[in-house]
Chains A and B, each alone.
Chain A
Amino acid sequence: MNPATDNRANGAVVEFLGVRKVYGRTEALRGVDLAIERGELVAILGPNGAGKTIAISCMLGLRRATAGTVRLFGLPPTDDAARSRRGVMLQESGVPGQLTVRELVELFRAYYPTPLAATDAIGLAGLGAQAGITAAKLSGGQRQRLYFALAVCGDPDALFLDEPTVAMDVASRRAFHETIRSFSRAGKTIVLTTHDLDEADQLADRVVVIDRGRVVADDTPAAIKARVAGRRVSFRSVDRLDVAAFADLPVRGLALGGDPPVGAASETRSDPGALVRFLSTEPESVLGTLFARGVRVCDLEVVGADLEEAFLSLTSEREGRQ
């Protein structure tokens, strides 16, 4: 084997070097550097519109970067030699509705050099009973599983899945995660996008957080979880509440009274009965301390922070450092 191909085979599966993507006046990707190595299971996490789909489209050669370099298996991502080593599941793509599940899997197998048996790919996606049904007649969840069958039927070295579990019910999702893990254990590389922090946490070895076109965090799921404020706490204070009551407490985005955007504590004191809100990874200990300091509350609510809020805290943290 010649050294060049050897090198390529041992290099990163995906390389991004200073990748920018500009649409008109919008900068969808603002200088992304990223390397995904062989065998990694990476979740690209971000709120809707953060640039995840654009990033994966660049990896797949569906979109061309405005600036910077994108490599897939060391080759341009439009190269068929690179493409025949990866399977894809895209959001919002379609298949000819006139063809049956089996016919589609047979067709897509033919695009790859060493595919799985069609029956195995259909079985992996749990579509054995629907093999003879045309794609147009499948339900939303079944259709999503068909796309999964089409992604794996070529037995590729890497899988790129854009929001794969969006239309799946809980049971499908759990089984899907198990299949992904077994794919990963076989040494394959998996890149998936999600806007679900829990999914990224359960599934991935590594989480790359993208927000507003930038990588704002790139770490293990545990480290990411520790950094984003996990719970949103809100209550009404019975008495006038001073910001000093929160001294030394692990809270973020404290807002006393009014409805300021989360992340910008605008006032230092609240009126009695005013809404108090903050984000924290340790809401129990924070509340315990507040009670110990004599704060009286009503209408207490502790809910999971949604991803938008979690990202806001990551982004503001990063901007604070710069």
Chain B
Amino acid sequence: MSTITARAWTSKPASSSVAPTTPLLPMLWMQTKAQARVFWRTPAVSLTGLLMPLMLLVFFVLPHAREPWQGSISVGAYMLAAIGAYAVSSVMVFNFGVTVAMERGQKVDLLMRAMPLPGWVFLAARVIGALVFGAVAMALLFAVAIGLGGITLDLATWISLTWRLLVGALPFIGFGFAIAYLASPSAAPAVANLLFIGLAFASGMFVRLDQMPGFLRAIAPLLPTYHYAQLAWGAIGAANESGAASVGWLAGYTVVLFALAGWAYRRETLRRFA
């Protein structure tokens, strides 16, 4: 069929009273589902988000997984926490940095703004979708670490690592959002890659910090990725700082990055929708 079907309208008559309100939970569910599908069907997000950490683990960590790192901590456990941090935060940065920028480019945001869709539903759906995606990336990573690498941790440590990775990823949502609204839609993926991979390297997620040049070791403790990795290492007793210090830094970064994202978003709103 190639044309709009001409046929009589068979809906409710135009209502004579005020319309009932739309239930919000089903709306949030549908929005989250749609968002998850968009993530899943964007290879730049799903393939890199799911496969990159696995590749890092398989190529660089598994051969040395059983070697001792320090004390009773194995290289496998130490690097699993680091790559886990990389995996979950990269999902946040790219989900928001790449897909939000893409939707800006396609003017999806224009139609969404015209919908009776509360802003918090839109944002919550994105956050939930990204957290679920991050959890999937983490679960895959853990499965490969256990199955192929024989990396063993006790149950309490697995659970501790899981929540640390998920909660600590919060500032990276702001990071991704800020990139999406500050960079042009076509530049955003490249900007996100450069900035984020640079940060991950400089925080010791891929290479031991003590093997890096002095100036990097000096600035590392200022980076959000550093404190996120420390939070993850805390689960296996390998952190350089207390859990409270990591959480404090990350909370501060959450405020700063979300404020930056909010500012960039308002700037865009004024420009296009004032």
**A residues at B contact (CB < 8 Å):** 1, 5-6, 8-10, 38-39, 60-64, 80-81, 83-85, 88, 90, 92-99, 103-104, 106-114, 116, 120, 123-129, 134, 141, 145, 148, 150, 155, 157, 168-169, 171-172, 174-176, 178-179, 182-183, 185-189
Contact = CB atoms under 8 A, between A and B. Distances in A.
A96 B34 CA distance: 9
Given A63-B274, A111-B27, A186 B5 contact: no
B10 to A, nearest CB: 8
Main secondary structure of the interface of B (DSSP, over half): loop
B116 A111 contact: yes
B20 A110 contact: no
Contact of A83 (B2, B30, B38, B115): B115
A129 B1 contact: yes
A188 B108 contact: no
B6 A98 contact: no
Contact of B9 (A93, A96, A98, A186): A186
A94 B111 contact: yes
Given A80-B118, A95-B108, A148-B4, A157 B19 contact: yes
A113 B37 contact: no
B34 to A, nearest CB: 5
A72 B9 CA distance: 23
Interface in B1-27: 1-23, 26-27
Nearest to B18: A5
A90 B273 CA distance: 14
Given A84-B116, A107-B33, 20 more contacts: A1-B18, A5-B17, A9-B15, A61-B114, A81-B116, A92-B107, A93-B107, A94-B103, A96-B103, A109-B30, A124-B7, A125-B4, A134-B41, A145-B4, A155-B12, A176-B4, A176-B6, A182-B6, A182-B9, A185-B9
A139 to B, nearest CB: 9
A317 B223 CA distance: 68
B106 A172 contact: no
A92 B110 contact: yes
B184 interface: no
A177 B81 CA distance: 61
Contacts of A169: 3
B113 interface: yes
A150 to B, nearest CB: 8
A111 B37 contact: no
B21 A103 contact: no
Interface string B49-90: 000000000000000000000000000000000000000000
Interface residues of B, number: 48
Contacts of A96: 34, 38, 103, 106, 108
Contact of B114 (A60, A103, A123, A183): A60
B207 interface: no
Nearest to A82: B116
Given A62-B114, A126-B4, A99 B37 contact: yes
In order of increasing CB-CB distance, the 4 nearest A-B pairs are A178-B6, A83-B116, A94-B106, A84-B116
Contacts of A88: 111, 114-115
Nearest to B115: A111
Interface in B221-244: none
Contact of A64 (B12, B115, B274): B274
Contacts of B116: 80-81, 83-84, 111-112
Nearest to B105: A94
Contact of B1 (A10, A60, A61, A126): A126
Given A124-B5, A182-B9, A97 B106 contact: yes
24 contacts: A9-B18, A63-B273, A64-B273, A80-B22, A81-B19, A88-B115, A93-B114, A96-B38, A97-B106, A99-B34, A107-B31, A108-B115, A110-B26, A113-B21, A114-B12, A116-B11, A124-B7, A127-B1, A145-B4, A157-B14, A172-B2, A175-B6, A176-B4, A188-B9
B103 to A, nearest CB: 7
B110 A90 contact: yes
Contacts of A124: 4-5, 7
Contacts of A187: 13-14
Interface string B25-47: 01101110110011001100000
B117 interface: yes
A6 B16 CA distance: 8
A245 B202 CA distance: 87
Contacts of B1: 126-129
A128 B111 CA distance: 23
A7 to B, nearest CB: 10
Given A64-B274, A81-B21, A186-B11, A175 B117 contact: no
A24 to B, nearest CB: 11
Contacts of A93: 107-108, 110-111, 114
B4 A175 contact: yes
A9 B5 contact: no
B26 A171 contact: no
Contacts of A116: 11
Contacts of B9: 179, 182-183, 185-186, 188
- The residue among B8, B19, B26, B31 with the most chain A CB atoms within 10 A of its own CB is B19
A84 B21 contact: yes
Interface string B95-126: 00000000100111011011111100000000
Contacts of B37: 98-99, 103
